[in-house]
């Protein structure tokens, strides 16, 4: 095997595939990148038995061949080489020889025949949309995915097609984020739960462009396809929350507020809320709504904090307790300047939605009971 390619070209491929390199494994082969040539193309593959990534680049292929090399060592060497042409070849001792200007490195390799094949997927349903649209949908929901492994189904996002609309939903037991988008091409109704880790990695690989990405769903696998990159992932088993039944349809109290002003208030007050000497204790902030005014306050051993702002209010006066982190996560995901925040009672969920796109992005957060 011998290939010659530009550093930028191969580095982009390496940066994409290393996201599926196994970190804790008893199989050293899974810590490697499989490098294979095919005519004037080079395919780089990684697979940790949950996520597999293939990336194809065009190169000057002098000799065909295949090998596996340790991903971390290979990527670190390529990253630090001069911005120039790089020659990569296998010598007679099966060492990977990397040459660039005055640099010469030789790395041990592994047998490419031992590298596990990526799952063969027979796609049952598929959709296609722009990469920037999917990036936005993931960004606005992924933060609400659960990190608790005791409920594995909530460690992923629900991808649901209903009436030609894609709904992406994340829930962790305390909050829910839901983003929807109508698809341009006709699609069957289906649903699948894709691991949050996979979506995080896909989000890093996708471009913020109108280039398309195709999502194919099989029985227990999903395939994401872009122009020169494929990502295979397992799906999560189990029954996802019937999210539409838990989102309140009516509100008793509504405020309309400048998101940035309220975000700044929550950021300041969370300095007190999260600075408790007893780290394991969660101190909620109290949200009090009167006519034309919202007061956010917190009291613990560290001290007291209070923020007041004048806002547009409708409905009843209300007091409820919340984890300020959940409000901050929502505010950071919303692009609009103004948001509606709808409350039922002091113990029912509150809904945050952007004023401009209130129909296709909803964020729900459960209150915390306040101690008297």
Domains within the chain, CATH numbers bracketed:
2-114 (3.10.150.10), 125-245 (3.10.150.10), 247-365 (3.10.150.10)
Tokens describing residue 323: 């984890």
pLDDT at 281: 54
Over 80: is that where the pLDDT of 372 sits? no
Whole-angstrom distance, CA of residue 58 vs CA of residue 222? 26
pLDDT in tens, 192-248: 999 999 999 999 999 999 999 999 999 999 999 999 999 999 999 999 999 999 999
Q: Name the pLDDT band for 354 (thresholds 50, 70, 90).
A: very high
pLDDT in tens, 311-324: 999 999 999 999 99
Over 70: is that where the pLDDT of 280 sits? no
pLDDT in tens, 78-102: 999 999 999 999 999 999 999 999 9
Q: Which residue has the higher pLDDT, 300 or 6?
A: 6
Q: How deeply is 251 buried, as exposed, middle or buried, from its count of CB atoms within 10 A (0-12, 13-18, 19+)?
A: middle
In this prediction the pTM is 0.91
Whole-angstrom distance, CA of residue 75 vs CA of residue 14? 6
Q: Name the pLDDT band for 272 (thresholds 50, 70, 90).
A: confident
Rounded to the nearest integer, the mean pLDDT of the chain is 94
Alpha-carbon distances, residue 288 vs 97, 318, 320, 368 (angstroms): 67, 6, 7, 14
> Contact 311/281 with Cβ under 8 angstroms?
no
Using the Cα atoms of residue 291, residue 292, residue 298 and residue 303 in order, give the sign of their dihedral: negative
Q: Name the pLDDT band for 18 (thresholds 50, 70, 90).
A: very high
pLDDT at 303: 87
In a 3-state reduction of DSSP, which class is residue 126? Answer: strand
Among 25, 49, 28, 45, smallest CA distance to 37 is for: 45
Whole-angstrom distance, CA of residue 4 vs CA of residue 59? 6
Q: Name the pLDDT band for 275 (thresholds 50, 70, 90).
A: low
Q: What's phi and psi for 119, nearest 5 deg?
A: -60, 140
Report, as an integer, the average pLDDT of 279-300: 86
Over 90: is that where the pLDDT of 24 sits? no
Report, as an integer, the average pLDDT of 49-55: 96
β-bridge pairing 156-162 and 190-195? antiparallel
Over 90: is that where the pLDDT of 149 sits? no
pLDDT at 220: 93
Report, as an integer, the average pLDDT of 172-184: 95
pLDDT at 40: 93
Report, as an integer, the average pLDDT of 60-88: 97
**Spacing of C-alpha 91 from chain mean position:** 40
Written as one string, the DSSP assignment of 99-114 is: EETTEEEEE-EE-GGG
> Contact 140/227 with Cβ under 8 angstroms?
no
Q: Name the pLDDT band for 369 (thresholds 50, 70, 90).
A: confident
């Amino acid at each position: 095997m011998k290939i010659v390619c530009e550093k930028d070209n191969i580095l982009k491929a390496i940066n994409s595939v290393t996201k599926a390199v196994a970190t804790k494994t008893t199989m050293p082969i899974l810590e490697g990148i499989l490098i294979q040539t095919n005519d004037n193309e080079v395919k780089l593959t990684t697979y940790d038995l949950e996520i597999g990534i293939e990336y194809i680049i065009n190169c000057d292929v002098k000799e065909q061949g295949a090998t596996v090399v340790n991903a971390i060592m290979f990527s670190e060497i390529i990253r630090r080489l001069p911005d120039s042409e790089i020659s990569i070849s296998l010598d007679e001792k099966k060492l990977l020889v990397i040459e660039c200007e005055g640099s010469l490195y030789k790395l041990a390799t592994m047998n490419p025949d031992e590298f596990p094949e990526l799952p063969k997927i027979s796609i049952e349903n598929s959709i296609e949309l722009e990469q920037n649209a999917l990036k936005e949908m993931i960004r606005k929901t992924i933060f609400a995915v659960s990190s608790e492994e005791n409920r594995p189904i909530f460690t992923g996002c629900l991808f649901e097609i209903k009436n030609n609309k894609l709904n992406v939903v994340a829930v962790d037991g305390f909050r829910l984020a839901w983003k929807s988008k109508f698809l341009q091409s006709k699609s069957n109704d289906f649903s699948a739960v894709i691991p949050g880790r996979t979506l995080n990695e896909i989000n890093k690989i996708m471009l913020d462009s109108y280039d398309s990405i195709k999502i194919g769903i099989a029985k227990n696998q999903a395939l994401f396809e872009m122009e020169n990159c494929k990502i295979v992932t397992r799906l999560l088993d189990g029954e996802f929350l019937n999210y539409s039944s838990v989102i309140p349809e009516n509100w008793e109290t509504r405020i309309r507020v400048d998101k940035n002003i309220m975000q700044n208030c929550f950021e300041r007050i969370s300095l007190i809320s999260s600075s408790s000497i007893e780290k394991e204790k969660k101190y909620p902030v109290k949200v009090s709504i009167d006519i034309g005014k919202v007061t956010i306050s917190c009291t613990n051993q560290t001290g007291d904090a209070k923020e007041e702002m004048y806002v547009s209010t409708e409905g009843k006066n209300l007091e409820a307790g919340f984890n300020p982190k959940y409000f901050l996560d929502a505010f950071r995901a919303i692009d609009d300047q103004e948001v509606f925040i709808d409350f039922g009672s002091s113990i029912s969920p509150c809904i945050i939605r952007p004023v401009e796109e209130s129909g296709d992005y909803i964020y729900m957060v459960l209150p915390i009971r306040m101690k008297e």
